[in-house]
């Protein structure tokens, strides 16, 4: 064990049952909050914890390509909301008529309502032109940044903080408003704030936009299209409480 510790390794093992339940609860009760934010400030210490959780994410070649722009200024939020509304008007026209009524009823953003907005970016040049693990997939740095967002989202759920991901923007508008350099990619724009309640199921499912797919249709064994029958047994399917789906 002494030699193992000198190599930078630490003992591995399962969490306690209570700790595991907390992890799975965060995963399965996480929701995308669109309009339910309370007018209550997020303490700086709490926001720092969430950012540290994001920064602890895995990244290709340990390049840590992310930056976090914390937006609390009212004028910046107003500019971002205007950018969203321009793009949202375009988005509405892209859906078929039978979907537009549902779309119009959805509250898709809480930019000005949320006390904190957070823009997460990816710097593809952070570790130089050749990055361990990115040599054959140039998008691995972006995928790494998404892992940081997911870390933050789950930590926020554990802290009682709601998170909404606003994706309806023209990236160049976001870069202009936030003074982001040309070669930096915008990966996510989040709204953060306390909420009184979360939907028991994904909001888009509750409001009739889409239903959750059956996981049995999504798992294959060894090759595409071959059902993984061993994972469809009842005792396997019931390994966790039914807490609702993510989103």
Domain ranges of the chain: 23-201
- pLDDT score, position 20: 96
Residue 241 class from Cβ within 10 Å (0-12 exposed, 13-18 middle, 19+ buried)? exposed
Measuring CA to CA, how many Å separate 36 from each of 28, 51, 74, 179?
19, 22, 18, 29
Angle subtended at Cα 42 by Cα 147 and Cα 19, rounded to the nearest 5 degrees: 50
pLDDT reading at 235 higher than 70: no
State the Cα–Cα distance between residues 187 and 30, nearest whole angstrom: 20
State the Cα–Cα distance between residues 70 and 78, nearest whole angstrom: 15
Contacts of 52 (CB under 8 A, 6+ apart): none
- pLDDT score, position 2: 54
Contacts of 53 (CB under 8 A, 6+ apart): 151, 152, 154, 155
State the Cα–Cα distance between residues 110 and 192, nearest whole angstrom: 9
Summarised one tens digit per residue, pLDDT across range 173-192 is 999 999 999 999 999 999 99
Span 23-201: which CATH code?
A: 3.40.109.10
Task: Determine how β-strand 161-166 pairs with β-strand 66-71.
Answer: unpaired
Contacts of 110 (CB under 8 A, 6+ apart): 33, 34, 35, 36, 37, 164, 191, 193
Percent of the chain surpassing pLDDT 90: 73
Summarised one tens digit per residue, pLDDT across range 61-107 is 999 999 999 999 999 999 999 999 999 889 888 888 878 877 777 77
């Amino acid at each position: 064990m002494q030699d193992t510790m000198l190599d930078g390794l630490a003992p591995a093992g399962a969490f306690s049952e209570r700790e595991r339940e907390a992890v799975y609860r965060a995963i399965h009760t996480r929701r995308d909050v669109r309009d339910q934010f309370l007018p209550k400030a997020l303490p700086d210490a709490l926001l720092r914890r969430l950012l540290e959780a994001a920064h602890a994410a895995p990244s290709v070649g340990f390049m840590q390509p992310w930056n976090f722009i914390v937006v609390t200024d009212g004028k910046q939020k107003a500019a971002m909301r205007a950018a969203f509304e321009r793009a949202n008007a375009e988005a509405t026209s892209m859906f078929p008529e039978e979907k537009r009524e549902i779309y119009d009823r959805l509250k898709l953003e809480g930019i000005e309502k949320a006390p904190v907005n957070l823009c997460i970016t990816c710097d593809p040049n952070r570790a130089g032109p050749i990055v361990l693990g990115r040599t054959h997939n140039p998008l691995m740095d972006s995928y790494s940044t998404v892992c940081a967002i997911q870390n933050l989202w789950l930590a926020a759920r554990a802290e009682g903080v709601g998170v909404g991901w606003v994706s309806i923007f023209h990236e160049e508008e976001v870069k202009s408003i936030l003074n982001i350099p040309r070669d930096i990619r915008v990966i996510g724009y989040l709204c953060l704030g306390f909420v009184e309640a979360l939907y028991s199921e994904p909001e888009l499912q509750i409001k009739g936009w889409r239903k959750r797919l059956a996981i049995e249709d999504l798992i294959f064994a060894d090759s595409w299209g071959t059902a993984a029958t061993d994972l469809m047994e009842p005792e396997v399917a019931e390994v966790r409480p039914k807490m609702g789906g993510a989103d």
